[in-house]
Amino acid sequence: MQTKEKEAKTMLTKSEFNFKSMKSEIDLRSKFEYKEKNYLFISFVLNLLLLGEKVLPKIFPTDLFNADYTYPVYYSFIIICMLFSLPFIHTMGKIKIKNYITGLCIAGSVIYIAITFGAGVLMKNLASSSYDTSLNGIVRNIVSYLPKTAAFIMVRSYSVNSVYKKTSHPYLWIVVITSYIAALGFNYVKLSIMRSYEDIFIFLFQDIVPKLSVSVLLTVICLTGGSIPCICYECIKKIFMFVFPFIPSLPWIAESVIGITYPITLSMYIWEKYKEFSRIKNIYQRDNVLSFILPLLFLVGVSWFVVGVFSIYPSVILTGSMEPVIFPGDIVLIKKLSSEEEIYKLKAGDIINFKMEDITITHRIEEVIKDEAGNLSFVTKGDNNDSRDSWIVGPNDLKGIVENIVPKIGIPVVYLYSNQNIPQGVIDY
């Protein structure tokens, strides 16, 4: 009888324990869901505050609104509220990793400046800065720029780290936040005045995709290193623009190549280094300097080659005037003519690249004309054309001589210009 009573008590005790465990598990789940809702709500509010530049002009009367003062004060208020009112959120990376990533971001911003300004110098495409480069102007620009940049980055960092650590669908929310912040920088006025597929294509690759690429990079930096390295990366680039009297004025294709490939390459590198360092205890920055520099130097070389910095540069053929030697969509590799001696070596049969008015053309030399003073000019013709070209090509019109042909790589560019009436032989406008 006593045995049965003991068994009954034991079963009752186990039932009570199971009930308490279930209750504890339910309480933990409810607590997690409550936290998740809280952090999602905080992130939602913070990201709404980033709409300040679109909302504030409509709230303030025109005579009271001054963008030079209102925006810095507004974004400074956001920063102060975040620093003193919100619970602290740790990033994915530890302190040593954060320090390393800060170094990568500083180096990355310097290399980006080297790529863009180097291309501008070598292509002789530098323009006067649109910023006021006087001492007062520099200070005013920095004071105006820093609060907004810091606020955007701090909101991004807090949002992506909180949803990553505190929500059940972290990657979905990270994608949403990254896309939303990128969309805040799109030029919607430009989008509203588009009239052709070419305009849409250029807008997509000149504005949207580069901003998305930068947004992905900044999110990766915020997740692994927090807001400080992210602020370093953005501010070094911008402050250099404020201070330097000249800025690169590159073709939109060149800007797109650099603006898309560089942020994605750097973000992939930072993410790989974070995963690598997460598996080891000691981090030695000196062991990884070379592995960081080499891929970025390769990227610099590829970017400069595409934009025409080197003695040989690529161009896309749009029409069939040189068939069957060169077809639409082929890329021709052109060697620049940099001296008179190289020009005097040109002969009938050479395929040259030259500019006539606003168009660039690749045709074959039919005849070399030499006047009494020894000056050269060239009669050209497309292999697939019935007659010679109506113009005479002078030495100042020459850009280079075709060295090689890479088939079909430029077909997407051909589709871009397919709805336009392009003169035979044109490469680009």
Q: Which residues pair with 275 in a beta bridge?
A: none
Tell me whether residue 77 is in a domain.
no
Tell me whether residue 21 is in a domain.
no
Whether residues 96 and 192 share a domain: the answer is: yes
Q: Which of 291, 307, 323 is where one domain is finished?
A: 307
- Which of 174, 133, 130 lies closest to 156 in space, CA to CA? 174
| Structure confidence at residue 19 (pLDDT) | 45
Whether residues 323 and 208 share a domain: the answer is: no
| Structure confidence at residue 218 (pLDDT) | 94
How many structural domains is the chain composed of?
A: 2
The tens digit of pLDDT for each residue in 269-322 reads 888 888 877 665 544 444 455 555 566 566 666 666 665 667 788 888 888 888
Tell me whether residue 188 is in a domain.
yes
- 0.85 cut: is pTM over it? no
Whether residues 337 and 239 share a domain: the answer is: no
**Exposed e or buried b per residue across 34-67, where buried means at least 16 C-beta atoms within 10 angstroms of its C-beta:** eebeebbebbeebbebbebeeeeeeeeeeeeeee
Whether residues 259 and 291 share a domain: the answer is: yes
| Structure confidence at residue 93 (pLDDT) | 64
| Structure confidence at residue 80 (pLDDT) | 92
Range of the domain at 102: 92-134+164-307
| Structure confidence at residue 416 (pLDDT) | 59
Tell me whether residue 358 is in a domain.
yes
Whether residues 303 and 351 share a domain: the answer is: no
For residue 228, what are its two tokens? 């400080």
**Exposed e or buried b per residue across 265-297, where buried means at least 16 C-beta atoms within 10 angstroms of its C-beta:** bbbebbbebbeebeeeeeeeeeebeeebeeebe
Tell me whether residue 184 is in a domain.
yes
CATH number assigned to the domain comprising residue 388? 2.10.109.10
Instruction: Identify the segments of the chain with pLDDT beneath 50.
Output: 12, 14, 17, 19-20, 22-23, 25-34, 282-287, 424-425, 427-429
Tell me whether residue 68 is in a domain.
no
Whether residues 168 and 278 share a domain: the answer is: yes
Whether residues 348 and 376 share a domain: the answer is: yes
- Which of 305, 203, 210, 303 lies closest to 263 in space, CA to CA? 210
| Structure confidence at residue 39 (pLDDT) | 75
| Structure confidence at residue 36 (pLDDT) | 64
The tens digit of pLDDT for each residue in 217-237 reads 999 999 998 899 999 999 988
Tell me whether residue 51 is in a domain.
no
| Structure confidence at residue 28 (pLDDT) | 43
| Structure confidence at residue 84 (pLDDT) | 87
Whether residues 177 and 281 share a domain: the answer is: yes
Whether residues 115 and 253 share a domain: the answer is: yes
Tell me whether residue 99 is in a domain.
yes
Whether residues 335 and 300 share a domain: the answer is: no
| Structure confidence at residue 154 (pLDDT) | 93
| Distance (Å, whole) CA 206 – CA 259 | 8
Q: Which of 307, 323, 357 is where one domain is finished?
A: 307
| Structure confidence at residue 370 (pLDDT) | 85
Do 343 and 337 contact (CB within 8 A), yes or no? Answer: yes
| Structure confidence at residue 308 (pLDDT) | 65
Whether residues 322 and 302 share a domain: the answer is: no
Assign 3-class secondary structure to the chain.
CHHHHHHHHHHHHHHHHHHHHHHHHHHHHHHHHHHHHHHHHHHHHHHHHCCHHHHHHHHCCCCCCCHHHHHHHHHHHHHHHHHHHCCCCCCCCCHHHHHHHHHHHHHHHHHHHHHHHHHHHHCCCEEECCCCCCHHHHHHHHHHHHHHHHHHHHHHHHHHHHHHHHCCCHHHHHHHHHHHHHHCCCCHHHHHCCCCHHHHHHHHHHHHHHHHHHHHHHHHHHHHHCHHHHHHHHHHHHHHHHHCCEEECCCHHHHHHHHHHHHHHHHHHHHHHHHHHHCCCCCCHHHHHHHHHHHHHHHHHHHHHHHCCCCEEEEECCCCCCCCCCCCCCEEEEEECCCHHHHHCCCCCCEEEEEECCEEEEEEEEEEEECCCCCEEEEEECCCCCCCCCCEECHHHEEEEEEEEECCCCHHHHHHCCCCCCCCCECCC
Q: Which of 268, 291, 307 is where one domain is finished?
A: 307
Amino acid at 390: S
Whether residues 361 and 290 share a domain: the answer is: no
| Structure confidence at residue 31 (pLDDT) | 47
